[in-house]
Amino acid sequence: MTIQRTYEEINKRIKKGEAVIVTAEEIIPIVEEKGIEKATEEIDVVTTGTFGPMCSSGVIINFGHSDPPIRMQRVWLNDVEAYAGLAAVDVYLGATQLSESEGMEYGGAHVIEDLISGKEIKLKALSQGTDCYPRREIETYITKESINQAILFNPRNSYQNYNVAVNTSNKKIYTYMGILLPDIGNANYCTSGQLSPLLNDPQFKTIGIGTRTFLGGAQGYIVWEGTQFYPQVIKDENEKTIYKGGTLAVIGDLKGMSTDYIRAATFKGYGVTLVVGIGIPIPILNSEIMKNVAVKDEDIWTEIIDYSFPHLKKPSLGRVNYKQLREGNITIRGKDVPTSPLSSYAKAQEIAQKLKEEILRGKFLLQEPIQKFSKENEFKPLLEIR
Amino acid sequence: MLNKKVIFTFSPQNVERPVTYQLIKDYGLWVNILQAKFEPSLGGKLVLELKGEDEQIKEGLNFVRQIGVGIELLEQEVIWDEEKCIDCGACVSICPTGVLFLDKVTYKLKFDYEKCIVCGNCVEACPLQAIKVTF
């Protein structure tokens, strides 16, 4: 008999303490031993995790009003400018914005990390002054306790699958994929593979708008498809399936997050970014979903791309799977090339485990998406019209 | 490419040898004078930073030793802040000696201090600024 479960049934079992939950890594030997059908019968939820640099991140802040009040038109937090083209004391601080005094040493992501860890942040704001908001300047200090809201809102996180970056030129290059040594001296990749949320539900059968997630140590939600959302299913000549292009827009209360699961990072010569921990539970509604979460690193393929090519469409140097990447060396054009993950697999494991424990303790219930993602997306380039 | 800091001690017998010039010209080394103190009748002390290939540095130092100049290596050390590290592995593929690696079981970063040549590649590769070089 084929098993069918609903979100309600799973949540009921979680509340009763009866739910069986494993991580996307632990499920692999279970399915190998028992088969898809038996595993589907026994397991209710599989948890995933990822902890990688995600540039399209930021925080919405409401500072509260000063007396006399100010309609903030330009705002700096620890000398990092936040976008203030909103209401009087609302800003959006982007993770990649650089400090005006320290440059790449400090940026929006560092302000976010400092806020989470409870540090005082220097706020400076300027205004033209209005009749209703007479003040023209303010300098003060804020903490996460002193402000009304600090809402992490990341327009594009949790990339489904990403390229392996290499450099075929004869000089070292500094990229968002890290330092790439000349003559294919190294290869950097950035996905947690078999633990990655969107590779465990590649067709978005359970992940959609409204899905509750682990986000930076707190509970967050998927609010929309991520920007540049363009899921593709590519069948290559050897019948290997490559899923890529899915992304998520996520939101959550920054005040409840922990620097164990959200960190600032600087890629030398490129800039500042935010490393975000995301974990998504996948409800085992049927055997098809179980088949997806049983995916192994050796079955997940990605493309090796030459980042020394300065144009949008960069040449491919072939395909490789995550098992090969994780072993630490791959072969490109006959050369043995060392690999770097950039996305922390150890942290991804920790996040999947933590999410599993929270569900087991009844602290985290599964939320059925209120709307699935559209499948009609396009990936448009920016045209230059003169 | 190696980067070493050294102290050369000169005696009155070899104090007039143009050691810096010869290291640059004959051994192709990049030389930066950090400190110099000379008293022709007594000898002197020269603190240098040398950059070059492993072999070049070895041969250059052999030459200095042969002319009777004392050599003391200022040991540099790579400091890895384990607390700050997130085990992303960005440092792994640019480490020429493979002393920084991800454990095959835990996927946590391991650092084999003993075999590190202090090239400094990991310092610029670490996105968390968790690796530093000190003296």
Measured CA to CA, the distance from residue A159 to residue B104 in angstroms comes to 25
- The pLDDT tens digits for A258-287 are 999 999 999 999 999 999 999 999 999 999
Confidence tier at B135 by pLDDT (50, 70, 90) = low
For residue A180, what is the nearest residue in chain B, using CA coordinates?
B94
Provide φ and ψ at A244, rounded to 5°. -155, 165
Average pLDDT over residues A88-116: 97
What is the predicted pLDDT for the residue at A301?
94
In terms of phi and psi (left: phi > 0; alpha: psi -120 to 50; beta: otherwise), the region of A271 is: left
A186 in contact with chain B, both atoms CB, cutoff 8 A? yes
What is the rounded average pLDDT for all residues in chain A? 96
What is the predicted pLDDT for the residue at A136?
98
Query: Which of B1, B85, B86 to substitute to test the interface with A, most A CBs within 10 Å?
Result: B86
Residues in chain B closer than 8 A to A96 (CB atoms) = none
Q: What is the 3-state secondary structure (H, E, C) of chain B?
A: CEEEEEEEEECCCCCCCCHHHHHHHCCCCEEEEEEEEEECCCEEEEEEEEEECHHHHHHHHHHHHHCCCEEEEECCEEEECCCCCCCCCCCCCCCCCCCEEECCCCCCEEECHHHCCCCCHHHHHCCCCCEEEEC
Read off the tokens for B29.
């080394």
Instruction: Measure CA A11 to chain center.
Output: 25
Residues in chain B closer than 8 A to A346 (CB atoms) = 87, 102, 106-108
CB proximity list for A67: less than 8 A, separation 6 or greater: none
- The pLDDT tens digits for A318-355 are 999 999 999 999 999 999 999 999 999 999 999 999 99
Distance set, CA A236 to CA A14, A233, A308, A319 (Å): 40, 10, 25, 10
**Other beta carbons less than 10 A from residue A180's beta carbon:** 26
Name which of B76, B130, B134, B132 is nearest B108 in CA terms. B130
**Cis omega before residue A68 (within 30°)?**
yes
More confident residue, A63 or A378: A63
Give the SS3 label for residue A214: strand
pTM of the complete model beyond 0.90 = no
Write the residue in B91, B93, B107 that is nearest to A187 by C-beta: B93
Say which of A1, A132, A370, A382 is annotated catalytic.
A132
What is the predicted pLDDT for the residue at B94?
96
Q: Is pLDDT at A1 greater than 70 in this prediction?
A: no
What is the rounded average pLDDT for all residues in chain B? 90
Q: Where along chain B do the CATH 3.30.70.260 domains lie? A: 2-74
CATH architecture assigned to B77-134: 2-Layer Sandwich (3.30)
The answer to whether A55 is a known catalytic residue is no
Instruction: With beta carbons less than 8 A apart as the criterion, state whether A197 and A279 touch.
Output: yes
Residues in chain A closer than 8 A to B88 (CB atoms) = 51-52, 275, 340-344
Measured CA to CA, the distance from residue A180 to residue A304 in angstroms comes to 13
Q: Where along chain B do the CATH 3.30.70.20 domains lie? A: 77-134
Chain A nearest-CA distance from B97, in A, is 11
Q: Is pLDDT at B113 greater than 90 in this prediction?
A: no
Cα angle: A197, vertex A300, A245; to 5 degrees:
60
Percentage of residues in chain A with pLDDT exceeding 70? 100
Across the interface, whether the CB atoms of B124 and A179 are under 8 A apart is answered yes
Between A and B, how many residue pairs show a Cβ–Cβ distance under 8 A? 78
Measured CA to CA, the distance from residue A259 to residue A358 in angstroms comes to 18
Give the residue extent of every domain in chain A.
7-54+153-360, 64-147
**Other beta carbons less than 10 A from residue A371's beta carbon:** 10
Write the residue in B101, B102, B124 that is nearest to A268 by C-beta: B124
Write the residue in B89, B124, B128 that is nearest to A341 by C-beta: B89
What is the predicted pLDDT for the residue at B60?
94
Q: Is pLDDT at B114 greater than 80 in this prediction?
A: no
- Tell me the one-letter amino acid at A81: E
Provide φ and ψ at A253, rounded to 5°. -80, 110
For residue A261, what is the nearest residue in chain B, using CA coordinates?
B86
In terms of phi and psi (left: phi > 0; alpha: psi -120 to 50; beta: otherwise), the region of A168 is: alpha
Residues in chain B closer than 8 A to A51 (CB atoms) = 86, 88
Residues in chain A closer than 8 A to B99 (CB atoms) = none
Write the residue in B93, B107, B108 that is nearest to A188 by C-beta: B93
Average pLDDT over residues B10-15: 91
Across the interface, whether the CB atoms of B125 and A178 are under 8 A apart is answered yes
Instruction: With beta carbons less than 8 A apart as the criterion, state whether A245 and A160 touch.
Output: yes
Query: Which of B88, B101, B106 to substitute to test the interface with A, most A CBs within 10 Å?
Result: B88
CATH level 3 topology of B2-74: Alpha-Beta Plaits (3.30.70)
- The pLDDT tens digits for B55-110 are 999 999 999 999 999 998 877 788 999 999 999 999 999 999 899 999 999 999 99
Q: Is pLDDT at A242 greater than 90 in this prediction?
A: no
Query: Which of A344, A350, A351, A353 to substitute to test the interface with B, most B CBs within 10 Å?
Result: A344
Across the interface, whether the CB atoms of A186 and B93 are under 8 A apart is answered yes
- The pLDDT tens digits for A345-371 are 999 999 999 999 999 999 999 999 999
Residue indicated by tokens 């998520």: A248
Give the SS3 label for residue A76: strand
Name which of A289, A246, A234, A254 is nearest A379 in CA terms. A246
Write the residue in B88, B94, B101 that is nearest to A186 by C-beta: B94
Residue A126 CB burial class (10 angstroms; 0-12, 13-18, ≥19): middle
Across the interface, whether the CB atoms of B88 and A188 are under 8 A apart is answered no
Write the residue in B86, B93, B107 that is nearest to A340 by C-beta: B93
Across the interface, whether the CB atoms of B90 and A342 are under 8 A apart is answered yes
Residues in chain A closer than 8 A to B102 (CB atoms) = 328, 341, 345-346
Name which of B8, B62, B60, B67 is nearest B30 in CA terms. B60
Across the interface, whether the CB atoms of B93 and A266 are under 8 A apart is answered no
Measured CA to CA, the distance from residue A349 to residue A264 in angstroms comes to 20
Measured CA to CA, the distance from residue A197 to residue A108 in angstroms comes to 26
A338 in contact with chain B, both atoms CB, cutoff 8 A? yes
Measured CA to CA, the distance from residue A95 to residue A103 in angstroms comes to 13
Across the interface, whether the CB atoms of A266 and B86 are under 8 A apart is answered no
